[in-house]
């Protein structure tokens, strides 16, 4: 996801770009799909950008909630922001991200979602993952991925016994994830209801579990496994 920081001196230009782009009718008569946009944003852009509504905690690009905060307070309409974001996707400025990271209707959908989501809490609220996942009698541990496709597991902490253990992570979303332990092993990357599984011989202490899809761990998709 490209850099979308807007300085005060660029507001007038941003307004012109957004208005011009919307007038051009990027996606034709068909309305963009924000739900599809959220899915694509989480998958393609979440490793770089913070956007509270998507639950992403990227570390490379700007915080999108903050990037447009003052502009919204000054009365910049979300339809105009949508045009600005769409233009930035096509022609990024001051960013290492490639042009047209998403294209056509997908780019329209991402722009529509980002514009509608800036400054808004996600459906999961501000609390994030809670509680501790605990292994069952067979020392099998269930650490599902977030069902809405956010870059997170449903638990940030887990407990298991020392010895042979199985760790499973079901992923009901369309965003690809897996389960891995720092230093190995790594489970299969899955999506759409499939389960990523690893079998490991655990030793007492603490381990880090994470998603090995590039950018997902850096965006916060990890947790601590305590082995007793």
- What residue spans define the domains of the chain? 8-117, 132-227
pLDDT averaged over every residue in the chain: 82
CATH of 8-117, one of 1.10.760.10, 3.40.50.1100, 3.40.50.300, 3.40.50.970: 1.10.760.10
Beta bridge partners of 145: 153
Is residue 36 left, alpha or beta, with left meaning phi > 0 and alpha meaning psi from -120 to 50? Answer: alpha
Residue reference for tokens 């400025």: 93
pLDDT of res. 24: 39
Confidence of residue 23 (pLDDT cuts 50, 70, 90): very low
pTM above 0.75, yes or no: no
Strands 180-181 vs 205-210: parallel, antiparallel or unpaired: antiparallel
pLDDT, tens digit (0-9, with 9 covering 90-100), for 94-109? 666 778 888 999 999 9
User: What sign does the CA torsion over 34, 1, 89, 63 have?
Assistant: positive
Token duo for residue 124:
């999961």
- The residue count of the chain comes to 228
pLDDT, tens digit (0-9, with 9 covering 90-100), for 197-213? 999 999 999 999 999 99
Do 15 and 9 touch, CB atoms closer than 8 A? no
CATH of 132-227, one of 3.30.420.10, 3.90.10.10, 3.30.2130.10, 2.60.40.420: 2.60.40.420
């Amino acid at each position: 996801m490209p850099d979308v920081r807007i300085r005060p001196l660029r507001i007038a230009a941003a307004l012109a770009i957004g208005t011009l782009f919307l007038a051009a009718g990027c996606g034709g008569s068909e309305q963009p799909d924000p739900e599809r946009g959220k899915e694509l944003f989480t998958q393609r852009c979440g490793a770089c950008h913070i956007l509270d509504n998507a639950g992403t905690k990227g570390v490379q690009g700007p915080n999108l909630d903050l990037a447009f905060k003052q502009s919204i307070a000054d009365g910049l309409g979300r339809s105009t922001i949508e045009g600005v974001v769409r233009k930035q996707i096509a022609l990024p400025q001051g960013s290492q991200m490639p042009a047209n990271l998403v294209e056509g209707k997908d780019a329209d959908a991402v722009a529509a979602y980002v514009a509608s989501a800036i400054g808004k809490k996600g459906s999961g609220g501000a609390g994030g993952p809670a509680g501790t996942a605990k292994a069952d009698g067979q020392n099998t541990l269930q650490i599902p991925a977030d069902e809405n496709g956010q870059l997170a597991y449903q638990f940030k902490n887990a407990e298991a016994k020392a010895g042979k253990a199985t760790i499973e992570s079901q992923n009901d979303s369309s965003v690809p994830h897996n389960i891995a332990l720092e230093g190995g092993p790594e489970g299969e990357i899955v999506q759409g209801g499939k389960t990523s599984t690893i079998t490991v011989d655990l030793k007492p202490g603490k381990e880090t579990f994470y998603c090995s899809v590039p950018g997902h761990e850096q965006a916060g998709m990890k947790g601590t496994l305590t082995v007793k």
